[in-house]
């Protein structure tokens, strides 16, 4: 009763943790879905290329008649880098040549602004666009030369050192803060004390502690990693060289993630799109599991159907939600499902040949769910394993033994071999208890004593009535067998133990002896099978005479002589 009384507290914490993780994960996935199309449009913009000065992106250029956007932007970047390295005073101007605005530096053409280069709010106004870019280029050249000075590098180095020290301090403070949170929350997850002062720990408490510690360590690692990544990015942006490296590395990573190089569903997809789709499917599995748990706990239990029927309905519902949700996701993603038919056929052949055991167990699981020869909650014996069915999955069945050990049994074993199911149809079963008494016992009194022991146990059913069979005559005992009926198969070992105590007490009360095997050994005199020397033979004879004389003297003393 104490264990049952504590279950609401644990289940509340467990459900709260699960709901928090589910909501956070689903929210993250929805954010990715919301941002995926705009981000993809920006990162995969192949019609323009950036003009960059020391890792600072100024603007983007479109392609011209002779050059691609990337080639044109790289040519402008090289000219700007050469001018920054020189010591000439910058004079950035906009000149009109062939009715087109041209940006020049100290009289040298940098590039011509075309109609494709203009962006809002300078649409079709190339002159205004050129003036805006001229100011950006002049400011970028001034900042680049300033950042190369010794005073700026010295100040940036001091700032970097201060930031690193602050980062180390924050790193330590975060560890202390997480330790305080752990010390405050861990007692709330501890086992409750019962009325008699006994601790009621079980595996649910241990699992909750492990889950909480894992979440705490994971969040601490995530926060610390975010802290140092931010520090590294900030320091790298202080220096021109490291900023350029950071920009180039970031561009390479973005290009690798956003380049449409993976054929999927009749179209090319990028790595990040595939990852988002995988995350969406993970979210679908989490949502399907949460909805299934709600269906199982809030709806199916109210219908008052068997636990096995509840599990079967819940499993079928979960698979339907996953299947329908997967089809909807693929359709929304723009995947042509007909193009996956060949892939599905290939997977079917692969499953048939390479994964025969998995396919066999999966098919057996479907048979077990619908035919229901075993159900969740049944007490069964398969092979050498005896226990209660805890879960029927797509590939295996989980059995919880009387030792509280989980045994994972493949589904196919339940269809290929004999299974003893004490709970199938009618949970009432009979227990056989052999008893042996001495030959001097009254058999009618023995029968009465055994029936009294059976009637004393509260778990023994009155109907059908307990019976006593006289099994026969053994070597050392009269063999009886007590047969009783119970309706709690998982408790049969405990009931047997209690009945053995009751039987022993009843036999002692009626002065009935419980025999034990006895063996009589008869030794006959004769010649020794081993030949010995005459000296040893004489010695043995003298010893024998001395023993006989001693026995005779004892007999005379006992007779009063």
Average pLDDT over residues 146-174: 92
Lowest mean pLDDT among 314-318, 430-434, 460-464: 314-318
By the 8 A CB rule, do 249 and 171 touch?
A: no
- Of the listed ranges 148-157, 297-306, 342-351, the least confidently predicted one is 342-351
pTM of the entire predicted model:
0.47
The region that residue 519 occupies, defined by phi over 0 for left and psi between -120 and 50 for alpha, beta otherwise, is beta
How far is residue 130's CA from residue 117's CA, in Å, rounded to a whole number? Answer: 9
- Is 168 inside any structural domain? yes
Could you tell me if 159 and 243 lie in one domain? yes
Q: Residues 388, 415: one domain?
A: yes
Domain count, the chain: 5
Task: Please say which residue of 99, 118, 148 terminates a domain.
Answer: 148
Is 175 inside a domain boundary? yes
CA 51/CA 53 separation, integer angstroms? 7
Q: Is residue 202 part of a domain?
A: yes
User: Taking all residues of the chain, what is their mean pLDDT, rounded to a whole number?
Assistant: 78
Q: State which of 473, 491, 509 marks the end of a domain.
A: 509
Strands, E, within 276-393: which ranges?
379-382, 385-392
Residue 138 shares a structural domain with residue 76: yes
Sorted by sequence, the CB contacts under 8 Å of residue 6 that are 6+ apart come out as 191, 192, 200
Residue 71 shares a structural domain with residue 23: no
- Give mean pLDDT, residues 239-252: 85
Q: What is the mean pLDDT of residues 221-248?
A: 89
List Cβ<8 Å contacts ≥24 apart for 34-40.
36/272, 36/273, 36/276, 40/258, 40/270, 40/272, 40/273
Q: Is residue 255 within a helix (H) or strand (E), and if so which, with residue range? A: helix 240-258
Q: How confident is the model at residue 36 (pLDDT cuts 50, 70, 90)?
A: very low
Q: Which of 268-277, 379-388, 530-539 has the lowest mean pLDDT?
A: 530-539
Side-chain half-sphere exposure of 316, counting CA atoms within 13 A: 11
- pLDDT at 32 exceeding the cut of 50: no
Q: Pick from 119, 148, 177: which residue ends a domain?
A: 148
Instruction: Pull the structure tokens for residue 553.
Output: 């003297």
Clarify whether residues 165 and 135 are in a common domain.
no
Whether 226 has a pLDDT exceeding 70, the answer reads: yes
Residue range 47-67: mean pLDDT, rounded: 86
pLDDT of residue 7: 36
Residue 293 located in a structural domain: yes
Torsional class of 191: left (φ above 0), alpha (ψ -120 to 50), beta (otherwise): beta
**Residue 127 shares a structural domain with residue 159:** no
State the helix-helix crossing angle for 341-354 and 356-371, rounded to 10 degrees.
100
Inside any domain, residue 306: yes
pLDDT class for 548, splitting at 50, 70, 90?
A: low
Domain annotation covers residue 544? no
What confidence category does residue 526 fall into, taking pLDDT thresholds of 50, 70 and 90?
low
State how far Cα 335 lies from the chain centre.
30
Question: What pLDDT does 44 receive?
Answer: 44
pLDDT of residue 6: 34
The mean pLDDT value for 502-529 works out to 75
Distance of CA 200 to the CA centre of its chain: 25
The whole-number pLDDT of residue 261 equals: 73
Please, which residues have CB within 8 angstroms of residue 249's CB and are 6 or more apart in sequence? none
| Domain identity same for 274 and 287 | yes
Only one residue has tokens 């002779």, namely 66
Q: Are residues 61 and 137 in the same domain?
A: yes
**Residue 415: what pLDDT?**
85
pLDDT over 90 (residue 218): no
Cα 428 from Cα 420, distance rounded (Å): 13
Q: Is 60 exceeded by the pLDDT of residue 202?
A: no
Residues 178 and 253 in one domain: yes
Task: For the chain, give the number of residues.
Answer: 561
Report yes or no on 20 lying in a domain: yes
Asked if pLDDT for residue 366 goes beyond 70, the answer is: yes
**CATH number for position 391:** 2.30.30.60
Does 130 share its domain with 173? no
Residue 214: count other Cβ atoms within 10 Å of its Cβ.
Answer: 10
The span from the CA of 509 to the CA of 502, in Å, is: 10
Judge if 441 and 472 occupy the same domain. Answer: yes
CATH of the domain at 465: 3.30.70.100
Q: Is 533 contained in some domain?
A: no
Domain span including residue 310: 2-36+268-335
């Amino acid at each position: 009763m104490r264990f049952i009384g504590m279950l609401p507290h644990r289940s509340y914490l467990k459900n709260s943790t699960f709901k928090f993780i589910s909501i956070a994960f689903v929210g993250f996935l929805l954010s990715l879905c919301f941002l995926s199309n705009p981000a993809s449009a920006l990162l995969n913009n192949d019609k323009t290329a950036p003009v960059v000065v020391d890792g600072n992106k100024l603007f983007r250029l479109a392609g011209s008649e002779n050059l691609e956007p990337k080639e044109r932007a790289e040519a402008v970047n090289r000219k700007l880098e050469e001018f920054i390295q020189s010591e000439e005073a910058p004079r950035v101007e906009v000149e009109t040549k062939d009715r087109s605005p041209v940006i020049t530096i100290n009289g040298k053409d940098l590039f011509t602004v075309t109609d494709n280069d203009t962006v809002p709010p300078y649409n079709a106004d190339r002159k205004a666009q050129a003036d805006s870019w001229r100011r950006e280029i002049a400011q970028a050249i001034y900042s680049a030369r300033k950042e190369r000075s010794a005073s700026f590098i010295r100040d940036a180095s001091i700032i970097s050192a201060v930031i690193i020290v602050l980062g180390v301090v924050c790193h330590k403070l975060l560890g202390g803060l997480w330790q305080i949170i752990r010390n405050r929350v861990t007692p709330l997850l501890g086992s409750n004390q019962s009325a008699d002062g006994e601790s009621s720990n079980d595996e649910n408490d241990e699992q909750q502690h492990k889950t909480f510690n894992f979440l705490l360590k994971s969040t601490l690692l995530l926060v610390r990693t975010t802290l140092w990544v931010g520090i590294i990015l900030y320091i790298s942006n202080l220096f021109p060289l490291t900023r350029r490296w950071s920009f180039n590395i970031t561009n390479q990573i973005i290009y690798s993630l956003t380049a449409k190089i993976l054929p999927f569903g009749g179209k090319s997809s990028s790595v990040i799109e595939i990852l988002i789709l995988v995350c969406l499917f993970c979210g679908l599995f989490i949502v399907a599991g949460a909805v299934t748990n709600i269906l199982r706990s809030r709806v199916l239990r109210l219908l008052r159907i068997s636990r096995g029927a509840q599990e079967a309905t819940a499993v079928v519902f979960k698979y339907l939600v996953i299947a329908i949700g997967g089809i909807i996701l693929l359709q929304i993603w723009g995947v042509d499902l007909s193009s996956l038919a060949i892939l599905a056929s290939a997977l079917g052949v692969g499953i048939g040949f390479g994964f025969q055991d998995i396919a066999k167990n999966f098919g057996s699981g479907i048979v077990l769910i619908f035919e229901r020869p075993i159900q969740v909650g049944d007490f069964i014996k398969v092979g050498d394993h005896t226990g209660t069915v805890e879960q029927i999955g797509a590939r295996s069945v989980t059995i919880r033994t009387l030792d509280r050990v989980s045994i994972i049994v493949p589904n196919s074993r339940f269809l290929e071999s004999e299974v003893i199911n004490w709970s199938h149809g009618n949970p009432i079963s009979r227990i056989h208890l052999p008893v042996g008494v001495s030959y001097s016992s009254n058999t009618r009194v023995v029968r009465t004593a055994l029936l009294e022991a059976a009637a004393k146990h509260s778990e023994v059913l009155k109907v059908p009535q307990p019976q006593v069979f006289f099994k026969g005559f053994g070597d050392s005992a009269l063999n009886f067998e007590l047969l009783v009926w119970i309706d709690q198969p998982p408790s049969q070992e405990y009931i047997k133990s209690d009945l053995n105590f009751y039987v022993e007490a009843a036999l002692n009360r009626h002065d009935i002896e419980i025999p034990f095997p006895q063996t009589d050994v008869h030794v006959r005199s004769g010649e020794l099978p081993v030949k010995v020397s005459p000296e040893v033979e004489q010695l043995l004879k003298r010893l024998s005479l001395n023993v006989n004389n001693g026995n005779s003297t004892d007999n005379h003393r006992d007779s009063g002589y």
